[in-house]
Chain A
């Protein structure tokens, strides 16, 4: 039998395992919009009881289920992997399911509004089509010239695989793109997410269409619009170094090496 190794508990583990209820009252201040009811958006406050360890998404559900069934938002997996519930929480783009109440100062009202730069359709739901169109425009799929399909997998060194690891994490939640001031002011800009997904292929050693993708991003609405504000990097719920990826694409455009 193996030796017990868990005789000491950290304070963090004790806190995680605590079953003592510690509900607090918080205020959610939500930007409501429903063109079926009114042409104008307005802020609405809701008071509710939550455990500080609960997620903002839990709060939204609580409101929808117990107070106002008309409150509308997208969500699915509820743990930061499906990318449905990007929203602006206290002025910052985050996933509602990855933001815990205790991490955002519940003393003050928690503001929740739709992400910016995309048309709001109802409450926290925006039109995602322009976002996905920009994604489709960068040819987000592996392109190889060789028409003879290999019978085994292509070889790729662990280093070559590592080169584009960071940008494979993207979940297309639009938190980055809708945090970008350039995107807010000019809907034509591809936006960070599309560039991240181009990066994922440009730096994949198996892909052979890097030049084509670079030309697409060399467009006036391409990477040169980026003003390096780092909003996108701060917003990414997957911890992707978005600004760095954009800079690497810019550098590849100059050196034509990738």
Chain B
């Protein structure tokens, strides 16, 4: 075991982590620990753009953006946070341009903008061009630009260091963060990083679904580490299903395709979104479009031999426009489906995409131990966190924005905290939990396999807690996940070595997915209403009287060692927007 000491430690090297690192490195001695190499993170898979009311191509302002974000989140958004997001969006985009990001340009040389779902002119009148983009690889360009600037600033990376545990210690009765424990993939060695401040920026947890746009490595590692140390998770029942994933594969095809004029059609060729969202049509918010697609499929208007998908039709758009604006996604259709999107519609289905919930933070990125108490020295930003700017449903282009705005804020706040505070003493035997976990898995002769459990989990989640949920389906999921968690205790790996043991890594990841899936299902069961991405067929309406509040889930361990989940609630911050019926 090795012990390292840094002022600031950042866990994760995606957009939020690297944006934080650029700020933190200038102000404090900083280390970035990442499970992958920095440019491998899933920020790079984001395509369509980053929202900011630059008003470069038509009238726009940040207040409209704030409203759209709050309405898009079905009023579960904390309105003070949404206002910060929309206001700071403008400088965030300009900062990236100054760092070198090659945005597409208008004829007069300013940053070009395009339409995106849920973003509107004057509180819902018509779609507005708010998304700043770099072809259909905006996330790739953000990730590359941030990495380039990390190289410029000399950010210190620990590549392929997998953080498995968060160390907290009591100081005069206050629970403070003391460090993290990481497993070095190349050697199997365990490292303890003591730090004055820690930022979790480790991304989402989409891999508990089968059809997902998420990378194999998005397994909720940060959320699970915080959870096991008794910190709450907020709004975990809210998961976004992106309307246009490649059928069966789940690979993302950007909403920018519809922003450029693409149309969703059912087997009769009908533009069905006109029925569900007469104003915004194909550019309604993602939860609305995904439900509409499944409604079409359930009512027998799906495409293909099994009627289990619909089409994204780009065939009416000029090939030059597709080549210039959507080159990557048209190539995905050619590579993975063998079809030509100039002339063929693309078979698509909703794909599990984004966790709105996560580790609760305030607008400075400080992690909350309950509704109000901050954990001194601990921060979170990006998909791992819940600020909450996305509420019950995130708008497209608001996540690339979120990582930049709140990554930057967390980086500055964490470094400043490190300046003003001393190291917190490490708990006794700090690596013990991780050592035990690794050894148990590596030495186990259990009869359960990781792949079998993971496959069962993913199938269960797709079948029971996806776009449509009922009390019965969610109960089925809770029961199944409980069974899988029991069986997980008897899991073993084949690779018993220390060097690059990815077999072991997958077993650890599965443990995280199982814990978080349970939190999600239990949170979903208790929310007896429909809001944003959480749709209950048995409670199809939004219930502001009883559920205009954030879910806060806590892990409890009884005297007998038995784990359970306790649910509590946190009020939504409302400033100037009263909840209204949500129509697109």
Interface on A for B, CB 8 Å cutoff?
A: 1-7, 9-10, 12-13, 15-19, 34-37, 53, 64-66, 68-70, 72-84, 98, 100, 121-123, 125, 128, 132, 135-136, 139-142, 149-158, 161, 164-165, 168-172, 201, 204, 206-207, 239
B102's partner among A68, A132, A168 (CB-CB below 8 A) is A168
State whether A84 and B40 are in contact (beta carbons under 8 Å apart), knowing that A76-B216, A161-B102, A168-B102 are contacts in the complex. Answer: yes
**With A4-B270, A64-B503, A76-B40 in contact, is A16–B251 under 8 Å at CB?**
no
B247: chain A residues within 8 A (beta carbon): 17
Instruction: Give A141 to B149 CA distance when docked, in angstroms.
Output: 6
**Shortest beta-carbon distance from A55 to chain B in Å:** 8
Q: Name 6 extra pairs, CB < 8 A, besides A13-B339, A155-B110.
A: A19-B306, A64-B502, A69-B503, A84-B40, A122-B500, A168-B144
A161 touches B274 (CB 8 A): no
Q: Are the CB atoms of A13 and B345 closer together than 8 Å?
A: yes
The B288-318 residues at the A interface (CB cut-off 8 A) are 303-306, 309, 311, 313, 315-316
Minimal Cβ-Cβ distance residue in B for A125: B500
Give chain B's interface residues, CB within 8 Å of chain A. Answer: 36-37, 39-42, 44-45, 93-94, 97-100, 102-111, 134-135, 137, 140-141, 144, 148-149, 151-152, 186, 215-217, 247, 249, 251, 263, 265, 268-271, 274, 303-306, 309, 311, 313, 315-316, 328, 331-332, 335-340, 343-345, 347, 449-451, 493-495, 497-503
* Residue contact B345 to A36, C-beta cutoff 8 Å: no
Tell me the complex Cα distance, A201–B102, Å: 10
Q: Are B269 and A3 in contact (CB under 8 A)?
A: yes
Complex: A17 Cα to B303 Cα, angstroms:
9
Residues of A within 8 A of B152 (CB): 139, 141
Give the shortest distance, in Å, between A240 (CB) and chain B (any CB). 12
The interface residues of chain A lying within 8 Å CB-to-CB of B270 are 1-2, 4
Beyond A13-B339, A76-B217, A128-B37, whether A81 also contacts B500 by CB under 8 A is: no
Complex-state Cα separation, A47 to B313, whole angstroms: 39
Q: Does B111 contact A172, Cβ atoms closer than 8 Å? A: no
Q: How far is the CA of A165 from the CA of B344 in the complex (A)?
A: 27
Known A16-B338, A69-B495; judge A2-B263 contact (CB<8 A). Answer: yes
- Residues from chain A with a CB closer than 8 A to the CB of B265 are 4-6
Given contacts A36-B498, A156-B105, whether A142 and B40 have CB atoms under 8 Å apart is no
**Cα separation A10 to B315 with both chains bound (whole Å):** 13
Q: How many angstroms between the C-alpha atoms of A4 and B270 in the bound complex?
A: 6
**Bound-complex Cα distance A169 to B303 (A):** 34
Q: Are B305 and A19 in contact (CB under 8 A)?
A: yes
Q: When the two chains form their complex, are residues A172 and B268 in contact, meaning their CB atoms are under 8 A apart?
A: no
**Secondary structure call for the B interface:** loop
CA distance A123 to B497 in the complex (A): 13
For chain A, what secondary structure do more than half of its interface residues adopt (helix, strand, loop), or is it mixed?
A: loop
Q: How far is the CA of A65 from the CA of B452 in the complex (A)?
A: 9
Complex Cα spacing A198 to B149, Å:
14
A191 and B435 CA atoms in complex are apart in Å by 40
Do B215 and A82 touch across chains, with their CB atoms under 8 A apart?
A: yes
| Inter-chain contact B39/A172, CB cutoff 8 Å | yes
Residues of A within 8 A of B151 (CB): 135-136, 140-141
Check A1/B271 contact, CB under 8 A, given A75-B216, A168-B102: yes
Question: With the chains together, A84 CA to B42 CA distance in Å?
Answer: 11
**Cβ contact within 8 Å between A152 and B94:** yes
Residues of B within 8 A of A151 (CB): 94
CA A36 to CA B251, docked complex, whole Å: 36
Q: Please determine whether A78 and B216 come into contact, CB atoms closer than 8 angstroms.
A: yes
Q: How far is the CB of A165 from chain B (nearest CB, A)?
A: 7
Please determine whether A158 and B105 come into contact, CB atoms closer than 8 angstroms: yes
Are B44 and A77 in touch, CB under 8 angstroms? yes
Which single residue of chain B is at the shortest CB-CB distance from A128? Answer: B37
- Rounded to whole Å, the gap between the CB of A100 and the closest CB of chain B is 7
- B134 near A168: Cβ-Cβ < 8 Å: yes
Other-chain contact of B494, A2, A70, A156 (Cβ < 8 Å): A70
A24 to B365, CA, bound (A): 51
Q: Do B303 and A158 touch across chains, with their CB atoms under 8 A apart?
A: no
Q: Are A65 and B44 in contact (CB under 8 A)?
A: no
Residues of B within 8 A of A5 (CB): 265, 269, 313, 315-316
Once the chains are docked, how many angstroms separate the CA of A135 from the CA of B498? 29
Contacting B305 at CB < 8 Å: which of A18, A34, A165, A169?
A18
**Is A121 a contact partner of B335 (Cβ separation < 8 A)?**
no
Contact status A83-B141, CB under 8 Å:
no
Cα A36 to Cα B499 in complex, Å, equals: 7
Question: Do residues B313 and A6 form an inter-chain contact, with CB atoms below 8 A?
Answer: yes
Complexed CA–CA distance, A70 and B495 (Å): 5
Instruction: Give the shortest distance, in Å, between A171 (CB) and chain B (any CB).
Output: 7
User: CA–CA, A16 to B37, complex, Å?
Assistant: 34
Residue of A nearest to B112 (CB): A158
Cβ 8 A contact of A122, one of B100, B109, B499: B499
Q: Are A16 and B337 in contact (CB under 8 A)?
A: yes
Q: Are B141 and A153 in contact (CB under 8 A)?
A: no
Nearest-Cβ distance from residue B159 to partner chain A, whole angstroms:
8
CB distance from B250 to the nearest CB of A (A): 9
List, in ascending order, chain A residues with CB within 8 A of B45's CB.
Answer: 77, 79, 81-82
Residue among A81, A132, A141 with most chain B CB within 10 A: A81
Q: Which residues of B contact A98 (CB under 8 A)?
A: 335
Q: A17-B304, A141-B149, A158-B107 are in contact. Are A84 and B36 (CB under 8 A)?
A: yes
Min CB distance A29 to B, Å, is 20
Question: In the complex, which residues of chain B have a beta carbon less than 8 angstroms from the beta carbon of A80?
Answer: 332, 335
The answer, among A6, A34, A206, for a CB contact under 8 Å with B311, is A6
Inter-chain CA distance A239–B137, complex, in Å, is 14
State in angstroms the CA–CA spacing of A80 and B215 once bound together: 11
By a CB distance below 8 angstroms, the chain B residues around A150 are: 98
Contact between A154 and B451, CB atoms less than 8 A apart: no
Residues of B close to A36: CB separation below 8 A: 497-499
Compute how far the CA of A206 lies from the CA of B102 in the bound complex, rounded to whole angstroms. Answer: 10
**Contact partner, A82, options B40, B98, B316, Cβ 8 Å:** B40
Give bound CA distance, A15 to B305, whole Å: 11
Q: Which B residues are CB-close (under 8 A) to A153?
A: 93-94, 97-98, 103, 110-111
Residues of B within 8 A of A35 (CB): 499
The answer on a CB contact under 8 Å between A79 and B332 is yes
Q: Closest chain A residue to B452 by CB distance?
A: A65
Closest Cβ of chain A: how far from B467's Cβ, in Å?
Answer: 21
